Chain A
């Protein structure tokens, strides 16, 4: 798969003049961050507020000058003529940034006029229809609801049909229904040649939308991978719970103790809790042996660690790589 975005050892330092010492003045928003985003994937940059997510997008867009590092878009270095690369990108910024005194249509018309769009009027109408805002096109942007403003911001971002779309906290401040709608719209934008880059601190959002995730904290990338990869990487021992109709017998206990794949287990009346490094292989063996011991199995379930568990574990347990 081709690379849409490649970030190599990206660092960005801000200076806080109010601090006394030179060291205190330096704020490393990004510290040697490296990652790649493949063409056509939805990539999530996950991290707490102040982790450096927005700075990363701004550097990729070329509106912030990196302290060091290189950024490639479609394998081309963006250092020269970053503004030309922005033609291929669409942005949904954290502040929607509409001209509130201008109409919905005028807002799109202004932003669309900088791109080579063949029939801008037709394109605006198509995008507004897609975003469910066509009947609001003559309304001042300031009169829209928060969810509608966010949809207008998405309309603006996709107006020129960009190859790469950046979403900075796309559901921030929205009510649950509006959030779901925005998330659906984002997912609907995924295409073979379109890459989506989502900045978020909302774990549920990232889990539901992203193919791969990079976890960023204090400007450093802590982990990159798909949620499944991260889960496997961080939670080596997994849990399986087996619920029986009848109480666990001493024979069953002995059987469990004899399985090498089981790292640890415990029994609570009719429930067996098994911990193993390879729960996929262990589960059928246990089930088979329990059946052979006349156990009536009501339910077999596995604890799947959410992205939230992964995130919390990373933030709490792991030391930053030196």
Chain B
């Protein structure tokens, strides 16, 4: 495999993404909404009424024990940790889940819609190089955005609770949180990209590809609700197990993508 060919495909697709205003706007606004605006709104509530928040959750000591929250944490920090576990962290997963689908659904359906697929097929490259190029087009920005958002959210929350931190650091010292940010997020993005690329190659146009790829967010929604009712669900072990299963699925889907992607069909359905 000639990796330069994959990089050339990726560079061209990035240029296209940057120059498509609607797509660029979605890529910028969506993460800001989910990892900056929403966490700020949630955390503001805790800053103003930490006791009411704790009371609303029931037996706070049980939750503290369940989540291994240090005993010396004040009520503000306990509230921040609980909110992070229950809402912010699962909501953060929407970013790799959605970003990857939004970008990768354009991979082949976009080429078909723009009637450029035949010329891409006529390039002196192999099918594998084409697929890898398309996957990288979505994977690199998805991972960069995911990690940036993780840092951004962590930084914003720590800054919001700065006066109550008392030498502690939120999110960046929690193993489960770090695993979600650096492992589960990228693996989720990669799996979604694999599936979205397959969907994109078999869809008639970009809209239908985006529509079907959008449904890939369903498992994230499920995790969101499970985590909301059981904040201990995304424990380090559970994150590792989920990431492992997803990693395995990634390997399977890489093979499926290579088998299902039929250049002949792509050209003939133009």
- Chain A residues proximal to chain B, CB less than 8 Å: 14, 58, 61, 63-65, 83-84, 86-87, 89, 91, 93, 95, 97-102, 106, 110-111, 113-115, 156
Residues of chain A within 8 A (CB-CB) of B16 are 99, 101-102
Contact between chains at A86 and B122 (CB < 8 Å): yes
Contact between chains at B124 and A114 (CB < 8 Å): yes
Given known A93-B118, A99-B114, contact A111–B123 (CB-CB < 8 A): yes
Residues of chain A within 8 A (CB-CB) of B115 are 95, 97
The distance from the CB of A257 to the nearest CB of chain B, in whole angstroms, is 62
Among A58, A89, A97, the residue within 8 A (CB) of B116 is A97
Given known A93-B119, A97-B116, contact A86–B263 (CB-CB < 8 A): no
The distance from the CB of B190 to the nearest CB of chain A, in whole angstroms, is 25
In angstroms, Cα B5 to Cα A110, docked, is 10
Contact between chains at B122 and A64 (CB < 8 Å): no
B20: interface (CB < 8 Å): yes
In angstroms, Cα B5 to Cα A89, docked, is 17
B15: interface (CB < 8 Å): yes
Q: Is chain B's interface secondary structure helix, strand, loop, or mixed overall?
A: helix
Among A14, A58, A114, the residue within 8 A (CB) of B125 is A114
Contact between chains at B119 and A106 (CB < 8 Å): no
Contact between chains at B268 and A63 (CB < 8 Å): no
Given A61-B122, A63-B267, A98-B116, 12 further pairs, Cβ under 8 A: A63-B118, A63-B122, A83-B125, A83-B126, A86-B122, A86-B124, A91-B119, A95-B118, A99-B114, A110-B11, A113-B4, A114-B5
In angstroms, Cα B124 to Cα A97, docked, is 16
Residues of chain A within 8 A (CB-CB) of B124 are 83-84, 86-87, 114-115
Residues of chain A within 8 A (CB-CB) of B59 are none
The distance from the CB of A106 to the nearest CB of chain B, in whole angstroms, is 6
Residues of chain B within 8 A (CB-CB) of A98 are 116
| Nearest B residue to A65, CB-CB | B264
The distance from the CB of A169 to the nearest CB of chain B, in whole angstroms, is 13
Q: What are 6 A-B pairs at a CB distance below 8 A?
A: A14-B268, A61-B122, A64-B264, A83-B126, A99-B116, A114-B123
Residues of chain A within 8 A (CB-CB) of B125 are 83, 114
The distance from the CB of A69 to the nearest CB of chain B, in whole angstroms, is 16
Given known A63-B121, A86-B122, A95-B115, contact A110–B12 (CB-CB < 8 A): yes
Contact between chains at B264 and A101 (CB < 8 Å): no
| Nearest B residue to A90, CB-CB | B122
B242: interface (CB < 8 Å): no
Residues of chain A within 8 A (CB-CB) of B118 are 63, 93, 95, 97
The distance from the CB of A13 to the nearest CB of chain B, in whole angstroms, is 12
**A-B pairs with lowest CB-CB distance, top 10:** A97-B119, A86-B124, A87-B124, A113-B8, A95-B115, A110-B12, A97-B116, A101-B19, A63-B121, A91-B122
The distance from the CB of A116 to the nearest CB of chain B, in whole angstroms, is 10
Residues of chain A within 8 A (CB-CB) of B263 are 63
Residues of chain B within 8 A (CB-CB) of A102 are 12, 15-16, 19
Q: Interface digits, B31-48 against A, CB 8 Å rule (1 contact, 0 not)?
A: 000000000000000000
In angstroms, Cα B123 to Cα A61, docked, is 10
The distance from the CB of A93 to the nearest CB of chain B, in whole angstroms, is 5
Tell me the chain B residues, 77-136 only, with Cβ under 8 Å from chain A. Answer: 114-119, 121-126
Contact between chains at B267 and A64 (CB < 8 Å): yes
B270: interface (CB < 8 Å): yes
Given known A14-B268, A99-B12, A99-B114, contact A86–B119 (CB-CB < 8 A): no
In angstroms, Cα B124 to Cα A87, docked, is 6
Point out which of B15, B121, B126 has the most chain A C-beta atoms below 10 A from its C-beta: B121
The distance from the CB of A301 to the nearest CB of chain B, in whole angstroms, is 46
Contact between chains at A106 and B122 (CB < 8 Å): no
Contact between chains at B264 and A111 (CB < 8 Å): no
Given known A63-B122, A64-B267, A86-B123, contact A110–B8 (CB-CB < 8 A): yes
Given known A61-B122, A63-B263, A115-B124, contact A95–B15 (CB-CB < 8 A): no
In angstroms, Cα B156 to Cα A50, docked, is 62
